[in-house]
Amino acid sequence: MIGLLSQPETAILLTGVLLSAAAALPGNFLVLRGNALLTDAISHSVVFGIAVTWLATGLIAGPVQVLGAAAAGLLTVLAIEALSRSGVIRQDAAMGLVFPTLFAAGVLILNLYARDIHLDIDTVLLGEIAFVWLDTTPVLGAEVPQALLTLAACAALNAAYVVLFWKQLKLATFDPDLARLQGMRPGAVFSGLLALTATTAVAALDAVGAILFVAFVIVPPATAFLLTRRLSVMVPLSVALGVGAVFLGHRAAFALDVSIGGSMALTTAVLFIAALLAAPEQGMVATLRRRRDRQVMVALRTLVSHLSAHADGPRQSEENTVSALEDHLRWSRPHAERVILRGLDAGLIRREGGLLALSATGQAMAREIAAALGPGSNRPG
């Protein structure tokens, strides 16, 4: 069974699955807090951590390198928070100041001192999940990709943290003041989450690189947020969306002969766009439908008021017709017909030859409108 993990396609897919799960778990809370771009800051600043750790220890891999890179990510967050709290600059400006500075410093260190070793910017930023099966370590007599073990550990740690601190994370995300009143430490809980995010970013470098890692942290949770407002549903749904993007992106990459990691990351965006369009409550189609329904309802109330104002009046035969709606209310013929059909379906109006008249239900609605508008509101125009 373990031997299957050394097979290239299995290793690639499982690496992507573990990466998507490890990234989406903290990503949900970052997205909900409005701190999603901290992921970008962390993913860039780990370059500085990698460079400094190599200068200090000469190591380009292993737990020391992971800890050094993760510490750089956490340092970035602390620096951004310190600048934001100082009141001198806003958080977005602090972010734009800190992480490009650390990233540029890391790039310069790598260019100056790491030219002759296997540590370059393309590897750090872009990675390539297609090659994870080449870097293996022996486990129970079989060669298992190192990325699988690292990401499995990250996914397990992130899952354990979310489960153990579920209540604290919820309060720290939605109501940090209440969390403090209950004796919790939302700042410490969130810092722990960011530390895990930084560690996951470092572990993801060999798989998809620092840049594409951001997509797996932000996009599946953002997509899940369009589909549900329940956090208990959003978290597993984001993981499922990330896993789905891995499998779909893998197939698309082979079909189009493109980067597998890039294809997986792009697939997350495709799923987001699909949710943005078709989400049952928050999607654009549903939003446009609700907006159109509100417009039709306003027009229907206008029609009811108009018919009521001229009912049994001397100008009823002129005003309570479709042509009058076009002339006096400035409605187009298609719009007028659409509103009339809605009124007929709702049982508010009826046709009497060429005239439009209110039903008993329509008359009751007209009285409610008149009462809401005040005395004299139902007089013929």
Nearest to 125 by CA among 270, 273, 245, 259: 259
Spatial separation of the C-alpha atoms in residues 371 and 377, rounded to whole Å? 8
Domains in the chain, CATH or no CATH each: 2-217 (1.10.3470.10), 291-373 (1.10.10.10)
Give the side-chain half-sphere CA count within 13 A for 172. 24
Tokens of 63: 């737990």
* C-alpha pair distances (Å), 285 with each of 19, 241, 292: 32, 21, 10
* Predicted structure pTM score: 0.79
pLDDT value at residue 379: 47
Q: What is the pLDDT along the chain (381 residues), one digit of tens a residue?
A: 565 666 788 888 999 999 999 999 999 999 998 888 888 777 777 778 878 887 888 766 667 777 777 788 778 878 887 887 787 788 778 878 887 888 888 878 877 776 665 555 555 555 678 878 777 777 777 778 888 888 999 999 999 999 999 999 998 888 888 888 888 888 888 888 888 888 888 888 766 777 678 889 999 999 999 999 899 999 999 999 999 999 999 999 989 988 888 889 899 999 999 999 988 888 888 888 888 888 888 888 888 888 888 887 788 887 888 888 888 788 888 888 888 888 899 898 888 888 888 899 988 998 888 888 766 554 444
pLDDT value at residue 296: 85
Q: Are 202 and 153 in contact (CB under 8 A)?
A: no
Write out the H or E segment, with its range, that includes residue 35: none
Spatial separation of the C-alpha atoms in residues 294 and 66, rounded to whole Å? 55
- Phi, psi for residue 40 in degrees, rounded to 5: -65, -40
DSSP string, 64-107: HHHHHHHHHHHHHHHHHHHHHHHTSS-HHHHHHHHHHHHHHHHH
Spatial separation of the C-alpha atoms in residues 94 and 80, rounded to whole Å? 5
Spatial separation of the C-alpha atoms in residues 8 and 72, rounded to whole Å? 32
Q: Are 153 and 226 in contact (CB under 8 A)?
A: no
pLDDT value at residue 380: 43
58: which residues sit within 8 A by CB, 6+ positions away?
A: none
Provide the phi-psi class of 356: left if phi over 0, else alpha when psi is between -120 and 50, else beta. beta
Write out the H or E segment, with its range, that includes residue 114: none
Nearest to 341 by CA among 309, 333, 319, 380: 333
DSSP character at residue 323: H
Spatial separation of the C-alpha atoms in residues 116 and 122, rounded to whole Å? 15
Angle at 269 between CA 23 and CA 161, to 5 degrees: 15
pLDDT value at residue 326: 82
